[in-house]
Structure 1
Amino acid sequence: MLFQRFERLIDVFRPAPDQMPPRSVLRFYIHYLRQVWPLFAALLLVGLAVALIEVALFSFLGRIVDLVQATPTGELFRRHGAELAWMTVVALVLRPLFNVLHDLLVHQSITPSLTNLIRWQNHRYVLKQSLGFFQNDFAGRIAQRIMQTGNSLRDSSVQAVDALWHVVIYALSSLVLFAEADWRLMLPLMAWIAGYVAAIAWFVPRVKLRSIASSDARSQLMGRIVDGYTNITTLKLFAHTREEEDYARAALDEQTRRTQAMERVITTMDATVTTMGGLLIVGTCGLALWLWDQGLISVGAIALATGLVIRIINMSGWIMWVVTGIFDNIGQVQDGMQTISVPRQVVDRADAQPLRVERGEVRFEEVSFHYGKGSGVIEGLDLVVRPGEKIGLVGPSGAGKSTLVNLLLRLYDLEGGRILIDGQDIAGVTQESLRARIGMVTQDTSLLHRSIRDNLLYGHPGASDADLQDALRKARADGFVPQLSDASGRHGLDAHVGERGVKLSGGQRQRIAIARVLLKDAPILILDEATSALDSEVEAAIQESLESLMQGKTVIAIAHRLSTIARMDRLVVLDHGRIVESGTHAELLAHGGLYARLWQHQTGGFVGVE
Structure 2
Amino acid sequence: MGKKTDTTASGQSVTRRTLHYFMQVTANRKGMFAAAILVSMGYSLFLSYGNPYFMGRIVDLVSVERVSPDQVLPTFGPLVAALILTNLLGQICSKLQDYTNWKLQIGAAYDLARLCFDTLSNQSMTFHTNRFGGSLVAQTSKFMSGYRDLCRSFLFSIVPTCASVFFTMSILGSVVPAYAGVLGALLVVYLVAAYLMYKRVLPLNAGAASAQSRLSGELSDSVTNILAVKTCGREEFERQLFDAANEQVRLAESARMRASMNRGVVTAGIIVVIMATASVFTAGGNAWFNITPGNLIMMFTYTYTLTQQFNFINIVFQNVNAALGDAHDMTVILDEPKLVQDAPDALPLSVREGAIDIDDLTFSYADARKDGFALDHFNLHIPAGQRVGLVGRSGSGKTTLTSLLLRLADIQSGAIRIDGQDISQVEQVSLRSQIGYVPQEPLLFHRTIRENIAYGRPDASEDEILAAARDANALEFIEKLPAGMDTQTGERGVKLSGGQRQRIAIARAILADCPILVLDEATSALDSESEHLVQDALNNLMKGRTCIVVAHRLSTVASLDRIVVMSEGRVIEDGTHDQLTKEDGIYAQLWDRQTGSFLEA
Alignment TM-score, normalising by the size of structure 2: 0.92
- 1:480-499 Cα shifts (integer Å, max 9, x gaps): 223335xxxxx222221111
The secondary structure found in structure 1 opposite 2:362 is strand
Question: Which residues of 2 match residues 66-145 of structure 1 at below 5 A?
Answer: 66-70=60-64, 72-74=67-69, 75-92=71-88, 94-107=89-102, 109-145=103-139
Structure 1: stretches of 5+ with no match in the other structure: 1-20, 486-490
Change (3 A) 1:556 1:459: same
Change (3 A) 1:479 1:607: farther
Is the counterpart of residue 340 in structure 1 residue 300 in structure 2? no
The secondary structure found in structure 2 opposite 1:351 is coil
Preserved CA contact (<8 Å) 1:285 1:302: no
Q: Decide which of 137, 146, 149 is 1:152's aligned counterpart.
A: 146
Q: Decide which of 65, 74, 82 is 2:59's aligned counterpart.
A: 65
1:401 maps to: 398
Question: Which residues of 2 match residues 17-28 of structure 1 at below 5 A?
Answer: 24-28=17-21
What's the offset of the Cα at 1:164? Answer: 4.5
Change (3 A) 1:172 1:472: closer
Q: Decide which of 41, 57, 74 is 1:48's aligned counterpart.
A: 41
The secondary structure found in structure 1 opposite 2:43 is helix
The secondary structure found in structure 2 opposite 1:348 is coil
Change (3 A) 1:179 1:561: closer
1:172 maps to: 166
1:30 maps to: 23
What's the offset of the Cα at 1:248? Answer: 1.0
2:386 maps to: 389
Distance in 2 (alpha carbons) for counterparts of 1:273 and 1:57: 28
Preserved CA contact (<8 Å) 1:116 1:150: no
Preserved CA contact (<8 Å) 1:359 1:387: yes
The secondary structure found in structure 1 opposite 2:597 is coil
The secondary structure found in structure 2 opposite 1:503 is coil
The secondary structure found in structure 2 opposite 1:137 is coil
Preserved CA contact (<8 Å) 1:22 1:31: no
What's the offset of the Cα at 1:180? Answer: 4.2
Distance in 2 (alpha carbons) for counterparts of 1:607 and 1:453: 47
Q: Decide which of 578, 593, 596 is 2:588's aligned counterpart.
A: 596
Q: Decide which of 153, 177, 185 is 2:179's aligned counterpart.
A: 185
Question: Which residues of 2 match residues 283-298 of structure 1 at below 5 A?
Answer: 283-293=277-287, 296-298=290-292
The secondary structure found in structure 2 opposite 1:67 is helix
Runs of 4 or more, structure 1, over 6 Å off, are: none
Distance in 1 (alpha carbons) for counterparts of 2:222 and 2:325: 27
Change (3 A) 1:218 1:396: same
Please, what is the CA RMSD of the aligned residues? 2.2
Aligned-residue identity in percent: 33
Preserved CA contact (<8 Å) 1:352 1:430: yes
What's the offset of the Cα at 1:404? Answer: 0.9
Is the counterpart of residue 363 in structure 1 residue 360 in structure 2? no
1:301 maps to: 295
Distance in 2 (alpha carbons) for counterparts of 1:121 and 1:251: 29
1:482 maps to: 479
- 1:37-66 Cα shifts (integer Å, max 9, x gaps): 222222222233223223222212211211
- 1:6-55 Cα shifts (integer Å, max 9, x gaps): xxxxxxxxxxxxxxx99834533433332222222222222332232232
Preserved CA contact (<8 Å) 1:390 1:569: yes
1:472 maps to: 469
What's the offset of the Cα at 1:132? Answer: 0.3
1:256 maps to: 250
Change (3 A) 1:404 1:296: same
Change (3 A) 1:548 1:289: same
Question: Which residues of 2 match residues 425-440 of structure 1 at below 5 A?
Answer: 425-440=422-437
Preserved CA contact (<8 Å) 2:15 2:324: no
Which has the larger share of helix? 2
Distance in 2 (alpha carbons) for counterparts of 1:183 and 1:414: 72
Change (3 A) 1:389 1:309: same
Change (3 A) 1:456 1:238: same
Distance in 1 (alpha carbons) for counterparts of 2:37 and 2:209: 29
Q: Decide which of 557, 560, 574 is 1:582's aligned counterpart.
A: 574
Distance in 2 (alpha carbons) for counterparts of 1:189 and 1:269: 21
1:16 maps to: none
What's the offset of the Cα at 1:334? Answer: 2.7
Distance in 1 (alpha carbons) for counterparts of 2:213 and 2:272: 39
Instruction: For 1:503, give the aligned amino acid.
Output: K
What's the offset of the Cα at 1:143? Answer: 1.5
Distance in 1 (alpha carbons) for counterparts of 2:562 and 2:599: 19
Distance in 1 (alpha carbons) for counterparts of 2:528 and 2:561: 23
Distance in 2 (alpha carbons) for counterparts of 1:439 and 1:168: 60
- 1:246-300 Cα shifts (integer Å, max 9, x gaps): 1111111100111111112222333333343334333312331223356822221
What's the offset of the Cα at 1:134? Answer: 0.3
2:410 maps to: 413
Distance in 1 (alpha carbons) for counterparts of 2:172 and 2:396: 83
Alignment TM-score, normalising by the size of structure 1: 0.90
Q: Decide which of 539, 561, 568 is 2:553's aligned counterpart.
A: 561
1:312 maps to: 306
The secondary structure found in structure 2 opposite 1:458 is helix
Distance in 2 (alpha carbons) for counterparts of 1:203 and 1:178: 29
Between 1:400-409 and 1:190-199, the stretch displaced more is 190-199
Tell me how many residue pairs correspond in the alignment: 581
Instruction: For 2:543, give the aligned amino acid.
Output: Q
What's the offset of the Cα at 1:138? Answer: 0.9
The secondary structure found in structure 1 opposite 2:239 is helix
Distance in 2 (alpha carbons) for counterparts of 1:22 and 1:55: 34
1:533 maps to: 525
Distance in 1 (alpha carbons) for counterparts of 2:464 and 2:437: 19
Preserved CA contact (<8 Å) 1:207 1:328: no
1:10 maps to: none
1:548 maps to: 540
Between 1:149-158 and 1:449-458, the stretch displaced more is 149-158
Preserved CA contact (<8 Å) 2:390 2:565: yes
Instruction: For 2:481, give the aligned amino acid.
Output: L
Between 1:325-334 and 1:400-409, the stretch displaced more is 325-334
Instruction: For 1:169, give the aligned amino acid.
Output: A
Preserved CA contact (<8 Å) 2:208 2:252: yes
The secondary structure found in structure 2 opposite 1:339 is helix
Distance in 2 (alpha carbons) for counterparts of 1:165 and 1:117: 24
Is the counterpart of residue 272 in structure 1 residue 269 in structure 2? no
Change (3 A) 1:456 1:334: same
Is the counterpart of residue 322 in structure 1 residue 319 in structure 2? no
Between 1:110-119 and 1:161-170, the stretch displaced more is 161-170
What's the offset of the Cα at 1:126? Answer: 1.8
Distance in 1 (alpha carbons) for counterparts of 2:16 and 2:135: 19
1:17 maps to: none
Distance in 2 (alpha carbons) for counterparts of 1:214 and 1:95: 39
- 1:499-552 Cα shifts (integer Å, max 9, x gaps): 111111111111111111111111111111111101112111222111111121
Structure 2: stretches of 5+ with no match in the other structure: 1-13
Distance in 1 (alpha carbons) for counterparts of 2:564 and 2:163: 78
Preserved CA contact (<8 Å) 2:54 2:82: no
2:11 maps to: none
Distance in 1 (alpha carbons) for counterparts of 2:407 and 2:420: 16
